[in-house]
A and B are shown apart, each in its own frame.
Chain A
């Protein structure tokens, strides 16, 4: 199996973790990790998903004021549930990808914020924080189909092409006439 698409997915996750520390817009970090996890959960196996979850959650916790490891469970739960139910999801439909991105973009920060309540005092949930989380959801709703387009394109570019089998088989040929 060609490892280039998976390597590129890990590279994208690493860049996404770094990117959210660099380009805040309207006070909101550009966090597209939920969209990446949705993509990994719907197109790759559990080992790859675990790797993506580890890179994205540990990276974010290390660069933020979060206690290290706190975002691991929300990231994993999002990917795990989607991976478990992916045969029921219309994962090739763009609107389904957008909805999953939106749901992930809202659910993941909310779960992390909920977990943080147990051991530290993050900003209390108010209208401002809710609005920012909603905007993150919208960002991921836009990012998720775009990621599918980009990575499907990369897969097509780097995966080995299947051998095209011909309909003609010499051993099944009906020979006519005298031999």
Chain B
């Protein structure tokens, strides 16, 4: 027969759970910040160790190797400067043509670097924690990407950190199009494939037999969350779904989501 203390404990746990689950969003957010701040020293410690390890990796390099690397970087920088000049000229031309046609000016984005300091501790969500918070300019909904492709969008913002929901999570729908065929679709979930990590499902808006393996998938810009043209991934295979009403496409993501260390957050958009 359970003693009275067992009943008290059971009652206390249920009451606490009911109260916590029914907290107003603001109070729940504050509690989340308060509890997660208990782990900030550990996040800082791990970050310091990573920095030390990164520096230690450069320590054994010889002077000649470093000089060669600087030369290579200088060349790359010059090439990028040329590409940048061409891009700027194209943008200016684009803006002039848009104004001539009376179209709205394109939204322009700037980006800030952030470091991944934590990963999702549960198996049913796909998210990351970045060392980039409200104080650094983080806002809910900002897109996150790497040089390879789209990563996700910011879901929640705290003073010093933010939580990013990754592409493939049920809470991160991405409107995309297949670059070669211009077929549009929506990425909503990860393929339920235990060994297919990094593969997501894209459902096209209509039956699209022209999509082939190897075609590239980019963001369409519809919905206004993600700018158009960000690489998402490559088509692995396709199949007809719902009696041929639409096509289900498996897409291998361009960004390696399980090996992310640094990402870019698209921050300010200005006309």
Contact = CB atoms under 8 A, between A and B. Distances in A.
Given A121-B170, A123-B189, A70 B21 contact: yes
Contacts of A64: 120-122, 125, 127
Interface residues on A, range: 35 or more
Nearest to B121: A20
B119 A127 contact: no
Contact of A62 (B14, B32, B191, B192): B32
B6 interface: yes
Contacts of A50: 9, 12-13
Nearest to B46: A22
Chain B interface residue bracket vs A:
35 or more
A149 interface: no
Nearest to A112: B122
A133 B194 CA distance: 11
A94 interface: no
Contact of A29 (B35, B121, B155): B121
A70 B107 CA distance: 39
Given A27-B258, A65-B127, A65-B163, A53 B122 contact: no
A18 B38 CA distance: 10
A40 B259 CA distance: 34
Given A46-B9, A50-B9, A122 B194 contact: no
A68 interface: yes
A126 to B, nearest CB: 3
Contacts of B21: 67-70, 119
A97 interface: no
Interface in A49-70: 49-50, 53-54, 58-70
A54 B165 CA distance: 25
A133 B9 contact: no
Given A59-B38, A59-B39, A63-B39, A132 B121 contact: no
B193 interface: yes
Interface string B119-134: 1111111110100000
Interface in A99-158: 109, 112-113, 116, 119, 121-124, 126-129, 131-133, 136
A12 interface: no
23 contacts: A17-B39, A21-B121, A22-B119, A24-B119, A29-B119, A46-B6, A46-B9, A50-B9, A63-B36, A64-B120, A65-B125, A66-B125, A69-B19, A72-B17, A80-B6, A83-B6, A113-B124, A121-B170, A127-B192, A128-B192, A128-B196, A129-B192, A133-B123
Interface of A: 14-15, 17-18, 20-22, 24, 26-29, 31, 46, 49-50, 53-54, 58-70, 72-73, 76, 80, 83-84, 109, 112-113, 116, 119, 121-124, 126-129, 131-133, 136
